[in-house]
Amino acid sequence: MCGIIGYAGGGRNQEVLDVLLTGLSGLEYRGYDSAGIALADEAVSVYKREGELENLEALLKETDVPSTPVGIGHTRWSTHGPPSDRNAHPHTDDGATVAVVHNGIIENYERLREELSELGCTFESDTDTEVVPHLIRHYVDEGLDEEGAFRKAVSKLEGSYAIAAVFRGSETIYATRQDSPLVLGLGEGGNYLASDVPAFIQYTDRVIYLEDGQFAVLTDDEITVTDGDGQVLEPPVKRIEWDAEDAGKSGYDHYMLKEINEQPRSLRQCLRGRVDELEGDVTTEELDELPEPARVQFVACGTSYHAALYGELTLRERGVKAQTFMASEYDRASVPIDDETLVIGVTQSGETADTLRALRQAERAGATTLAVTNVVGSSASRECDYTMYIRAGPEIGVAATKTFASQQTALTLLADAIRDAEHRELLGALRDLPDHVQSILDGSNAREIAAEYENAGAYFFIGRGYNYPVALEGALKMKEITYKHAEGFAAGELKHGPLALVTEETPIFAVVTGDDERATKTIGNVKEVEARGAPVVAVTDGQSDVERYADHVLSVPETHDRVGPILANVQLQLVSYWLANRLDRSIDKPRNLAKSVTVE
């Protein structure tokens, strides 16, 4: 949520403006409701608009925009004050001597605002952010230089933040972070900062990940990173292994459809070098030193929570005590944690605020921590004792798709790293997984089924065992991108209340793979809803006879019982996508949602 872009380019031409607009476009996937930029030279010029980036671009086309050597930009996701032009970032002090963009929440802003108002500062917005430029200006007026004023202002803030500031008459950007991501880009003839790499990946692949409490000073030819005491640091420079083309749509109408179709490649990347079917081995070198824990606790949010539920089942099947918590509900005061506990944070971005908070609590309690994440250099990967990357590649669509499949697959491999077991049949299924996903993509009838049930009042998703997390995820995708009411249930729970909501206008998506007792019992639940007149869509590998009771079938290849749910999820992704497409929804940027949730 929210996005920051900054560029110190040196020259006075359109380059700075072009970089900022390109960067804001590259951050749209994070979710936002307004956008703005500040250009600094002999004056600080601010341009901002509520709504889509195109509204800001229209304003700039109508305006004589100066060419400047430095600038910052922002896409805002509202927390304090509704979406509006005046609440959009950047914000300035009364005299527009300094402009600031900010991600996060300043928890003590009300007290600071009262103090600054008493000093004569006038506030124009409802935001917590606006206290920052006023604080900076206050300390400049007290005689501090730009960097000193910036540092002292930041020292007064409580909460989470990534902040960037530019000054009138200066060609420098000042930045810092605390519990909110900020990455620096080293370019040729200019330097960049952003919330995430896609903002500047077309300009440079050399990056520095700023740590909490560190400060950065950017000019066109230098980036200086210091600690809270002002000591100069030498942080490592990393190279990004993907490029701007990987983060583009590649001819697809939506990022989501592209990323659904990228799943065969993402799964191959996740499995590469980790599975040796001939030897019957799983190799996870990054976890070689991981001690076998007495218990495992997963912490996660949203789609990652559903993947964690799947991971919990894989461990419990192997006799490992495992439990999954919504990260926002995780509290070490009520959860037993000790040095024999392994706490696994499942987070696509590695920056999810609730998950990071839970991991930090676990660390303080003496637990071993492990991040299962997609983003190299993310906060979770840097802070945890161990990291397992899912290797899905960049995911731009807000609704997670390929990362969920890769999380499920990585957690299957993780179970082996924690407790080895005989699994040749499973390894063979993992080997075939990318091709099986491709066969679904090539032959799915999800588009036709979406058309059949476009006008339904609600959608229910049911499953048992490994299919239960997939039912939850199927419902979440339907909610996220179609804005239709959808719920996922453990199939056996239907008769304990939700069955009261089942009507002839309530399609039931039943995930039934394999032919074991769970499949048989789920078929019984299908019969229950069929008797109430509800249409049934069976997502199945054909091993059971659920097709007999279904109005429609979404087929998946027959495979191992732990891998079948990964395939079933692909069909449900496609149903949600095609239904949202028919309803003309904003598929890649659903209303009110953000890709990376960096506030609690």
Contact, 466 vs 439, CB < 8 A?
no
Dist CA 175 CA 136 (whole Å): 13
What is the arithmetic mean of pLDDT over 381-393?
93
What is the arithmetic mean of pLDDT over 401-426?
89
Confidence bin at 380 (pLDDT 50/70/90): very high
Contact, 498 vs 489, CB < 8 A?
yes
Residue 336 or residue 91, greater confidence: 91
Confidence bin at 596 (pLDDT 50/70/90): low
Instruction: Give every CB contact of residue 570 below 8 A, 6+ residues apart in sequence.
Output: 260, 263, 405, 437, 440, 441, 444, 556
Dihedral-angle region of residue 465 (phi above 0 means left; psi in -120 to 50 means alpha; beta otherwise):
left
Question: Residue 589: its pLDDT value, please?
Answer: 85
Question: Residue 280: its pLDDT value, please?
Answer: 66
- Per-residue pLDDT tens over the stretch 214-226: 999 999 999 999 9
| CATH class of the domain whose range is 248-442 | alpha beta
Q: Tell me the domain boundaries of the chain.
A: 3-239, 248-442, 444-600
Checking if the pLDDT of 144 tops 80, the result is: yes
Residue 319 or residue 80, greater confidence: 319
Average pLDDT over the chain reads: 91
Dist CA 321 CA 189 (whole Å): 54
Least confident among 158-167, 509-518, 587-596: 587-596
What is the arithmetic mean of pLDDT over 510-524?
92
Checking if the pLDDT of 600 tops 60, the result is: no
Least confident among 145-149, 245-249, 531-535, 584-588: 245-249
Query: What H or E segment, with its residue span, contains residue 389?
Result: strand 386-389
Question: Residue 38: its pLDDT value, please?
Answer: 96
Question: Residue 566: its pLDDT value, please?
Answer: 96
Question: Residue 463: its pLDDT value, please?
Answer: 95
Most confident of 90-94, 241-245, 504-508: 90-94
Pull the structure tokens for residue 402.
């390929």
Contact, 323 vs 312, CB < 8 A?
yes
What is the arithmetic mean of pLDDT over 431-444?
96
Question: Residue 247: its pLDDT value, please?
Answer: 64
Contact, 368 vs 291, CB < 8 A?
yes
- Per-residue pLDDT tens over the stretch 93-109: 999 999 999 988 899 99
Checking if the pLDDT of 251 tops 90, the result is: no
Single pTM value for the model: 0.79
Give the domain 3-239 fold: Glutamine Phosphoribosylpyrophosphate, subunit 1, domain 1 (3.60.20)
Domain 444-600, CATH homologous superfamily name and number: Glucose-6-phosphate isomerase like protein; domain 1 (3.40.50.10490)
What is the arithmetic mean of pLDDT over 463-492?
96
Share of the chain above pLDDT 70, in %: 95
Catalytic residues: 2, 595
Fold matches, 3-239 and 248-442: no
Question: Residue 599: its pLDDT value, please?
Answer: 58
Checking if the pLDDT of 503 tops 60, the result is: yes
Checking if the pLDDT of 274 tops 80, the result is: yes
Share of the chain above pLDDT 90, in %: 70
Checking if the pLDDT of 598 tops 70, the result is: no
What is the arithmetic mean of pLDDT over 318-336?
88
| Residue 168, CA atoms < 13 Å, CB-side half-sphere | 16
Measuring CA to CA, which residue among 442, 424, 433, 470 is closest to residue 267? 433
Residue 450 or residue 526, greater confidence: 450
Checking if the pLDDT of 254 tops 70, the result is: yes
Which residue bears the tokens 């409490």? Answer: 213
What is the arithmetic mean of pLDDT over 454-483?
96
What is the arithmetic mean of pLDDT over 494-508?
86
Question: Residue 181: its pLDDT value, please?
Answer: 87
Q: What is the DSSP string of 501-552?
A: G--TT--EEEEE-SSSHHHHHHHHHHHHHHHTT--EEEEE-SSSSGGGG-SE
Checking if the pLDDT of 397 tops 60, the result is: yes
Dist CA 251 CA 257 (whole Å): 10
Question: Residue 245: its pLDDT value, please?
Answer: 57
Residue 378 or residue 263, greater confidence: 263
Q: Establish whether the linkage from the previous residue to 336 is cis, with ω within 30° of 0.
A: no
Question: Residue 2: its pLDDT value, please?
Answer: 79
